[in-house]
Amino acid sequence: MMRRFDMRLPAIVLLDGGREFRTETQNVSARGVYFYLDRTVDAGTSLEVTLTFPPHVTLTDAVRVRFRARVIRVEKPLPSLRIGTAAMIEDYEFLRTNGTADLLSQLPKEWKTAN
């Protein structure tokens, strides 16, 4: 089982059809993310999530990541209107931010040429 990290990070969720929602994550792992929406999304739905890992997490500059994911679980709200949504990450990419180089370009040169 993958370790989950409790991280409340601002996130943008883009659903098929271009509907965009601003939300926050509850936790993140190498294979998945749990976040809240104000509406139900069916299990199996494909979506994109963009979030920024802050410097205290990356131990360097902030890193923006966009990943494609598939909803695997939806928790109906009880006392809250927020709906918990678990999604499995299928693919991801690092994004450039405001002229800052992406993560690969920040690696030492000898790491990139080692293989």
Indicate if the pLDDT at residue 104 is higher than 80: no
| Domain housing 81 | 5-112
pLDDT of residue 17: 83
Q: What is the mean pLDDT of the chain?
A: 84
Mean pLDDT in residue range 98-115: 49
pLDDT of residue 99: 45
**Domains: count for the chain:** 1
Distance CA 56, CA 58 (A): 6
Task: Read off the pLDDT of residues 30-82 as tens digits, 9 standing for 90 and up.
Answer: 999 999 998 889 999 999 999 999 998 889 889 999 999 999 999 987 777 78
Which amino acid belongs to residue 26?
Q
Mean pLDDT in residue range 9-38: 93
In terms of Cα–Cα distance, which of 26, 7, 21 is closest to 87?
A: 26
pLDDT of residue 108: 52
Distance CA 2, CA 63 (A): 21
Question: Could you tell me the CATH number of the domain that includes residue 76?
Answer: 2.40.10.220
Instruction: Give the Cβ contact number of residue 71 at 10 Å.
Output: 19
CB 41 within 8 Å of CB 19: no
pLDDT of residue 97: 65
Indicate if the pLDDT at residue 96 is higher than 90: no
Distance CA 96, CA 115 (A): 24
* Alpha carbon distances (Å) from 15 to 44, 45, 105: 12, 8, 30
Share of the chain above pLDDT 90, in %: 60
pTM of the model as a whole: 0.78
